[in-house]
Chain A
Amino acid sequence: MSTAAVNQPAAHPENGTAPQEATVTSTSAPTATSTSTPTEMPTATPTETPTATAQPAGPAPGARSGRTGARRLAGAATKVGPLLAAVAGIVAVWYVVTYLVLSPERRFLLPPLHQVLGSTLGNPLVMGPMLDALWQTVGVALCGLAIAVVIGVGYAVVMVQSGWAERILYPYAVILQTIPILALTPLIGIWMGYGFSARIVVCVIIALFPMIANTLFGLQSASPAAHDLFTLNRATRAQRLLKLQFPAALPSIFTGLRNAAGLSVIGAIVGDFFFQQGSPGIGGLLRTYTLRLNMDALFMAIILTALFGVAMFSVFAALDRAVIGRWYGRGAA
């Protein structure tokens, strides 16, 4: 293409579109589209476009979806592979410490993995209460996360309405973030009792800040020119929020959501740990097992909480990718 353009630079630098370019017709649709397509299309797009448009009534939908299915599987493998390797590494270190570092009389401090699994998984008297407790904690974490999302996004939306609103309201968010949660938790217990709602409050306090901070950052991320565009078209405040600021914030909101999801797990477990009234959460059991020096059950509980944390993070990371990918158009990087 470029060589052809160099060959006739004087008359037709546009190359290939030469005969039409000389007249106005070039800007009328059919010719301009057909000629400019091959030169202007980014390389990735031509392969994406037919797939996207042909899918509903494509000639061989089975073959096509089969191919993408295989590709998706390969993609999943490259993502899961490192994770599995990391788990294997942790298990390896675990066994090394158990058998090579610890002397036999101190081995109870870190029982080997197979012993932990063997004495717990097959024993419904241990696993039953533990899964119930985990379930309880999942409920607190999800509930706390939902509340943190609603409050966090709402708070940021209010802040972005004016400079002074942000100056007045942002310090509260920062203070909430900087107070050590362990200092605040006993107080929450005294005020609210030691039940379910107190656990949720702790969870919300821990998960809230990343929601506020990321949403605010996202709401402010639209370019000044985009704001000018809305100003010039006399957009209302609601139109600006819903059609510019909020959509622009969506990727940041998902980043906040991912972080808040991980933190909500921590918050729920901290809440469990302090507030033992009512049915225990997994954090409550962690404390009980520790006090009884029930090492096998303690390690099983730790494994379960870790899996829970990873699951929460992964779900929201996947949601993030799916939604944002769609948001910016299929095939966008």
Chain B
Amino acid sequence: MSAATTTSTSTTPRPASMTRTLVLDDVTKAFPTGTVALEGVSLSVVAGEFVSVVGPSGCGKSTLLRLASGLDDASGGEVEVNATSTSYVFQEPTLLEWRSALRNVELVGELRGVPKLERRRRAREALDLVGLSGFEKQHPRQLSGGMRMRVSIARALVAEPDLALFDEPFGALDEITRLRMQTELQSLFALKSFAGLFITHSVSEAVYLSTRVVVMSGRPGRVVADIPVPWAYPRTPELRYEPEFGALVGEVSAALGEHS
């Protein structure tokens, strides 16, 4: 891949075109049981932005993602998506166990009617991109947890998404794998110009990955802070140990602490 050459030069933030890929306007979500998961949430993500949402558990973060993806409908307010292709990375890798890694990535093309040779070529490229060339024929049971999540990310990238939604994808991984996946994801983001919305309960993960961190309150979920993150991509793993990084993590944590 030409990944290395393209990205190593892009040390400045890309000019964010003003297309608002995802717009949530005063969105409310109440369930038939009476639980109000989200109340008056407004949030937009433009192309080239990677927005993380942090909040206490049960604050409706995942509900937010389901609304953005169209899997669920809002009870009030507007959800607007301007994307020709949306990808969704689940909490679990959600791979089909009877398919090899390659065929799992190919699935998206199969469902969308992409011709076989074309979708196979793209699937190989996507696996290559997440560092899994050579593992095309392995089945999910033969892969480690981190590798399974990489296949899942490859499956999201293969659709060339304008909007990529992530529902705490690294939550179940061990710390070492998790940090490595974060490093890889932000460099993939630097490479591909999608709008990203990333749900997590890890503040440092949110700060490390994102151009902006949105803090939500406990149920019913509301946006209580919107904190920009200044650093250019690609970001080094060492960034996590810089004082400025710590300060920003502290700021987000404080916002989280006030409202949970």
Q: A residues within 8 Å of B by Cβ?
A: 5, 10-15, 17, 21-30, 32-33, 36-37, 40-42, 44-45, 48-49, 52-53, 223, 225-226, 228-235, 239, 243-244, 247-248, 250, 327-329, 331-333
The residue that A42 contacts in the complex, of B7, B128, B130, B142, with Cβ under 8 A, is: B142
Tell me, rounded to whole Å, the shortest Cβ–Cβ distance linking A194 to chain B: 45
| CB < 8 Å neighbour of B183 from A26, A33, A328 | A26
Tell me which residues across on chain A come within 8 A of B41, comparing CB atoms.
none
Q: Is the CB of A24 within 8 A of B8?
A: yes
Closest B residue by C-beta to A34:
B134
Q: Are B69 and A232 in contact (CB under 8 A)?
A: yes
**Whole-angstrom distance between the alpha carbons of A231 and B71 in the complex?**
8
Bound together, the chains give a CA A53 to CA B134 distance in angstroms of 11
Contact of B184 among A26, A29, A49 (CB under 8 A): A26
Cross-chain contact B88 with A229 (CB below 8 angstroms): yes
Contact of B141 (CB < 8 Å), options: A26, A223, A333:
A333
Chain A CB within 8 A of B260 CB: no
Q: How far is the CB of B97 from chain A (nearest CB, A)?
A: 6
Residue of B nearest to A230 (CB): B111
Q: What residues of A have a CB within 8 angstroms of the CB of B238 in the complex?
A: 11, 22
Task: For the complex, count residues of B whose C-beta is within 8 A of A.
Answer: 56
Asked if A225 and B142 make an inter-chain contact with CB atoms under 8 angstroms apart, the answer reads no
Q: Which residue of A lies closest to B176 (CB)?
A: A13
* B contacts, CB < 8 Å to A: 1, 3-4, 7-8, 69-71, 86, 88, 90-92, 94, 96-98, 100, 107-108, 110-112, 128-135, 137-144, 146-147, 175-176, 179-180, 183-184, 187-188, 190-191, 234, 236-238, 241
* Residue among A12, A36, A37 facing the most chain B CB atoms (10 A cut-off): A36
A71–B237 alpha-carbon span in the complex (Å): 47
Contacts of B112 in A (CB 8 A): 233-234
- B135: chain A residues within 8 A (beta carbon): 33
Q: Is the CB of B187 within 8 A of A24?
A: yes
Taking a contact as CB atoms under 8 Å apart, the answer to whether B141 and A332 are in contact is yes
Residue in A42, A44, A53, A329 whose Cβ sees the most chain B Cβ within 10 Å: A329
Q: How far is the CA of A333 from the CA of B96 in the complex (A)?
A: 16
Chain B residues positioned under 8 Å from A12 (CB to CB): 237
Known: A25-B8, A41-B144, A332-B141. A243 touches B179 (CB 8 A): no
Residues of B within 8 A of A250 (CB): 98
A45-B138 in contact (CB<8A): yes
**Interfacial chain B residues near A32, Cβ < 8 Å:** 131, 184
Q: Which residue in chain B gives the minimum CB-CB distance to A226? A: B94
Contact call B1/A28, Cβ cutoff below 8 A: yes
Task: State the main secondary structure of chain A at its contact with B.
Answer: helix
Point out the residues of chain B lying under 8 angstroms from A21, CB to CB. 180, 183, 237
Whether the Cβ atoms of A22 and B236 lie closer than 8 Å is yes
Contacts of B146 in A (CB 8 A): 40
Give Cα A15 to B174, complex, Å. 14
Interchain nearest-CB distance for B31 vs A (Å):
16
Cα separation A228 to B4 with both chains bound (whole Å): 34
Residues on A with beta carbons closer than 8 Å to the beta carbon of B179: 13-14
Min Cβ gap B81→A in Å is 12
Contacts of B138 in A (CB 8 A): 45, 49, 329
Contact between A247 and B96, CB atoms less than 8 A apart: yes
Docked complex Cα distance between A226 and B90 (Å): 9
**Could you tell me if A23 and B71 are in contact, using CB atoms closer than 8 angstroms?**
no
Additional A-B contacts beyond A12-B237, A23-B234 (19; CB < 8 A): A13-B179, A14-B179, A17-B180, A22-B236, A22-B238, A24-B7, A27-B129, A28-B129, A29-B128, A30-B133, A33-B135, A225-B90, A228-B71, A232-B70, A235-B111, A243-B96, A329-B100, A332-B141, A333-B141
Of A24, A30, A40, A225, most buried by chain B (CB within 10 Å of CB) is A24
Contact: B94 with A48, CB < 8 Å?
Answer: no
Chain B residues with Cβ under 8 A from A230's Cβ? 111
Which chain A residues border B237 with CB–CB below 8 Å? 11-14, 21-22
B1 to chain A, nearest CB (A): 5
Q: Distance in Å from the Cβ of B122 to the closest Cβ of chain A?
A: 14
Q: Which residue of A lies closest to B167 (CB)?
A: A225
Q: Are B3 and A28 in contact (CB under 8 A)?
A: yes
Question: Do B94 and A223 touch across chains, with their CB atoms under 8 A apart?
Answer: yes
Minimum CB distance partner of B139 in chain A: A329
Question: Given A33-B131, A225-B91, A233-B111, is A24 in contact with B234 using a C-beta cutoff of 8 Å?
Answer: yes
Chain B nearest Cβ from A53, distance in angstroms: 8
Q: Is the CB of A27 within 8 A of B88?
A: no
Minimum Cβ distance to chain A for residue B165 (Å): 9
Complexed CA–CA distance, A105 and B68 (Å): 86
Task: Tell whether, in the assembled complex, residue A40 and residue B69 are in contact, meaning their CB atoms are under 8 Å apart.
Answer: no
Contact assessment for A29 and B129 in the assembled complex, using a CB-CB cutoff below 8 Å: yes
> For B108, what are the chain A residues with a Cβ–Cβ distance below 8 Å?
233
The list of the 7 closest CB pairs from A to B, nearest first, reads A329-B139, A32-B131, A28-B3, A233-B111, A24-B234, A24-B187, A332-B141
Q: In the complex the two chains form, what is the Cα distance from A212 to B130 in whole Å?
A: 42
Q: Are A25 and B241 in contact (CB under 8 A)?
A: no
User: Can you identify 13 A-B contacts, CB atoms within 8 angstroms?
Assistant: A25-B8, A27-B3, A27-B188, A28-B4, A33-B134, A49-B138, A225-B91, A226-B94, A228-B88, A230-B111, A250-B98, A328-B97, A329-B140
